[in-house]
Amino acid sequence: MSNAIEAQMLCKDFGKFHAVDDATINIKSGCICGFIGKNGAGKTTVMRMLTGLMKPSRGKILVLNEKPGCISARIGFLPQNMRFDENETARSVLSFFAAVKNVDVSESIQFAKTLELDLDKKVKDLSPGNQRKLQLIVVTGGNPELLILDEPTAGLDPTGVQQVREIIRLLNQRGCTVFVSSHILKELDDLCNQVIIIDRGRILYQGPCAKCYEFETGGLTDTICRDLKDQVNIHSTADGNLLSAEIEKQSVPDVLQFLFSKNIPIYEVRRSGFESLYNRYVREAAQ
Partner 1 sequence: MKETFLLFKRDLKRILNKRFLFVLLFMVLFQSWFIRGSGYKDKAGQNFEFSYMGFTFAFLILGSLAALSLNFDAISKERQNKVMDLLLTSSLSKTQIATGKLMASLALSLLFSLLYNLLVTLIYCLFRTGGAVIRVALHNVLPVAALIFIYSLMGLFLSVLFRSSRTSFIVSMACGLILMPRIFEMFVDGICKGLKLENAVSNLIMFASPAMIMSGLTGYNGASNLLTGIGAFLIYTVVLTVLFFTVFRNQDEKSYNE
Instruction: Kindly tell me which residue out of 13, 22, 54, 115 binds partner 1, with binding defined by CB under 8 A.
Output: 54
* 97 vs 205, beta carbon nearer partner 1: 97
Instruction: Kindly tell me which residue out of 9, 24, 38, 55 binds partner 1, with binding defined by CB under 8 A.
Output: 55
CA neighbours within 13 Å on the CB side: how many for 91?
A: 7
DSSP 221: -
Give the range of 70-78, 187-195, 198-206, 235-243 binding partner 1 by CB under 8 A.
70-78
* Binding of partner 1 by 87 (CB under 8 A): yes
* Binding of partner 1 by 5 (CB under 8 A): no
Instruction: Kindly tell me which residue out of 28, 101, 200, 202 binds partner 1, with binding defined by CB under 8 A.
Output: 101
Give the range of 74-82, 155-163, 187-195, 206-214 binding partner 1 by CB under 8 A.
74-82
Single-letter code of the amino acid located at 220: L
The pattern of x and - marking residues 124 through 163 that bind partner 1 according to CB under 8 A reads: -----------x--xx------------------------
Single-letter code of the amino acid located at 282: V
Instruction: Kindly tell me which residue out of 97, 111, 179, 213 binds partner 1, with binding defined by CB under 8 A.
Output: 97
Single-letter code of the amino acid located at 204: L
The sign of the dihedral angle between the CA atoms of 224, 230, 231, 232 is positive
3-state secondary structure of 15: coil
With a CB cutoff of 8 Å and minimum separation 6, the contacts of 33 are 27, 177, 178, 179, 180, 192, 193, 194, 195, 196
Residue 68: closest CA among 55, 43, 50? 50
Contact 134, 112 (CB under 8 A): yes
* Binding of partner 1 by 35 (CB under 8 A): no
Question: Can you give the binding site for partner 1, defined by CB under 8 A?
Answer: 39-40, 44-45, 48, 51-55, 72-73, 75-85, 87, 96-97, 99-102, 135, 138-139
